Chains A and B, each alone.
Chain A
Amino acid sequence: MYGNLSLVEPLNGVEQENPEKLAEFEERISRGEKIEPTDWMPREYRRQVLRLVEQHAHSEIIGALPEGTWITRAPGFKRKLALMAKVQDEVGHAQLLYSAAETLGKPREFMINDLLSGKAKYSNVFNYPALTWADTAIIAWLVDAGAIINQTLNSKGSYGPYTRALERICKEEAFHLKYGYDNVVTLASGTKRQRQMLQEALNRWWKPIMHFFGPPDAVSVHSEKLMRWKVKMASNDEMRQMFLDAYVPRIWELGLNIPDPNLRKDPETGKWEYSDPDWDEFWRVINGNGPCNRERLAVRRMADELGAWVRRALLKPERQYVAPLF
């Protein structure tokens, strides 16, 4: 759910929109035009895009925490600098995405309030702990790989500010992916202990990574409309298949074992088959009961509290709220 609307909310009230305007809007999108903040848009389009971009922004800022766990322990200059730069980029992605989301009418402060109060959702994958250094390698390679599949698709979407933010983000993600891959390959070709550490990390992360693109299409709310509006760019299963296609061979190539005995590509359909990755756990985590949900929230609240006096010192409460242009 790294901003991929893996949990689609049903659309409502679209039939109440002005049919002429709606037709013109949909015509623009089908011509490949971008929708800009001041353009007419259906209320449901605004709500769904806001929800998408806001969740994506939350995922980036929370996503800085699991990898941040190893910032002070990264082994050697190259890794230390790269990990710092990567986590910094994730914070930067949140900054860009909050701005893009703000153009739809919700101030950044209110979005952060919803995150800190526990109301807002963010990607489940960041509610798992990075137990060892190898976990950061798996995150940077495979979680970022998943994010890139999703973000590259979304960058072809219809909402102008979001696609512009994603263009910038995708360039940085290319570094994250290469850094993660290099890190994984180094551990895979390292000592026995390093290989073992890596294998254990992969075992831990496989399930959350399978959850990453959201529940199977068969049990998800479908929305032709969101696809037609170029808000959701591919189905959850389509993205999962893209991920498996690209990365399973590379994982196997390194001599790593993927902890799913049923994982195989059906030669007839060309589709990957896999065991049920425990969707009950997915729901438990998304409803706040994952291994790190509470810690993530507590840490974000603390960070906000620690910085409160700095922000307060330079506050200009008399100013009128203005949304960024982006």
Chain B
Amino acid sequence: MSSGASHHTSQHPKQVALQSLDPRVNRLGIPSELSDFAPKPLQDEWEPYEVFWRERPGEQPVHVGTVRAPDPEMALVFAKENYCRRGQTYSLWVVRTADIHTFHPAEIDIFETAPGKMYREPDAYKVVQKILRLKRGRQHDQEAKSTS
């Protein structure tokens, strides 16, 4: 039979282990002297993916946040519990942040629409007066007809 999971990674077997109130921590066999610490390189925690979530059919998917993941499959594995562990979910999308295209921040004024394009607004069209005039005109015609 297997000898089980006895392969703790503590590389300091001779040192006294740190004594914790947490039995889980005691099982990790952490050396009581602080181990050396090698700084993480960039990408150590993988790269960001953006997460889009839709609560129920008929609704817009919305951007809810991001996860670090090595690839799209793992991003989905993570996003599911990071963003959908409560409430309802209908769909979930992930996309690598680096694959999202946008305008350069310096070009943000591209969205400043010049004023005066009222022809695209419903308010630009006032028909009530026109209809009144139209009705008055028709009445006038009828009166003219009947008197002739």
Tell me the bound Cα distance from A312 to B43 in angstroms.
9
Residues of B within 8 A of A259 (CB): none
Q: Are B98 and A95 touching (Cβ within 8 A)?
A: no
Contact of B65 (CB < 8 Å), options: A99, A109, A316: A99
Q: Are B23 and A72 touching (Cβ within 8 A)?
A: yes
Give residues in A with beta carbon < 8 Å to B: 38-39, 65, 68-73, 88, 92, 95-96, 99, 102, 107-110, 112-113, 116-117, 129-131, 165, 168, 172, 294-295, 297-299, 301-302, 304-306, 311-312, 314-317, 319-326
CB of B5, distance to nearest CB on chain A (Å): 12
**Which partner residue on chain A sits nearest B74 by CB separation?**
A314
Q: Are B37 and A116 touching (Cβ within 8 A)?
A: yes
**Which partner residue on chain B sits nearest A303 by CB separation?**
B28
Tell me the bound Cα distance from A112 to B35 in angstroms.
16
Tell me the bound Cα distance from A149 to B21 in angstroms.
29
Contact of B45 (CB < 8 Å), options: A109, A129, A317: A109
Residues of A within 8 A of B41 (CB): 109, 317
Q: A92-B82, A109-B42, A324-B66 are in contact. Are A316 and B20 (CB under 8 A)?
A: no
Can you sample 12 A-B contacts with CB below 8 Å?
A71-B24, A108-B68, A109-B41, A109-B42, A110-B40, A130-B21, A299-B28, A302-B35, A306-B28, A311-B45, A315-B70, A316-B43
Q: Is B39 an interface residue (CB 8 A)?
A: yes
**Within B1-53, which residues are at the interface with A (CB < 8 Å)?**
9, 18, 20-25, 28, 30-32, 34-35, 37, 39-48, 50
Contact of A72 (CB < 8 Å), options: B9, B24, B48, B85: B24
Tell me the bound Cα distance from A130 to B23 in angstroms.
12
Q: Are B21 and A131 touching (Cβ within 8 A)?
A: yes
Residues of B within 8 A of A168 (CB): 64-65
Residues of B within 8 A of A117 (CB): 37, 39
**Which partner residue on chain A sits nearest B98 by CB separation?**
A322
Residues of A within 8 A of B128 (CB): none
Residues of B within 8 A of A314 (CB): 46, 70-71, 74
Q: A130-B21, A320-B98 are in contact. Are A298 and B35 (CB under 8 A)?
A: yes
Residues of B within 8 A of A131 (CB): 21
Q: Is B131 an interface residue (CB 8 A)?
A: no
Q: Is B124 an interface residue (CB 8 A)?
A: no
CB of B52, distance to nearest CB on chain A (Å): 11
Tell me the bound Cα distance from A129 to B25 in angstroms.
13
9 cross-chain pairs, A with B, having the tightest CB-CB distances, nearest first: A314-B70, A38-B105, A324-B66, A324-B48, A69-B22, A109-B40, A113-B39, A322-B98, A302-B30
**Which partner residue on chain B sits nearest A71 by CB separation?**
B24
CB of B108, distance to nearest CB on chain A (Å): 7
Q: Is B133 an interface residue (CB 8 A)?
A: no
Residues of A within 8 A of B28 (CB): 299, 302, 306
Q: Is B100 an interface residue (CB 8 A)?
A: yes
Q: Is B97 an interface residue (CB 8 A)?
A: yes
Tell me the bound Cα distance from A38 to B104 in angstroms.
9
Tell me the bound Cα distance from A130 to B24 in angstroms.
14
Q: Are A68 and B22 touching (Cβ within 8 A)?
A: yes
Q: Are B98 and A326 touching (Cβ within 8 A)?
A: no
Residues of A within 8 A of B46 (CB): 311, 314-316
What mask results when residues 43 to 85 of chain B are scored 1 for a CB within 8 Å of chain A, else 0?
Answer: 1111110100000000000011111101100100000001001
**Which partner residue on chain B sits nearest A112 by CB separation?**
B40
Q: A117-B39, A305-B35 are in contact. Are A298 and B70 (CB under 8 A)?
A: no
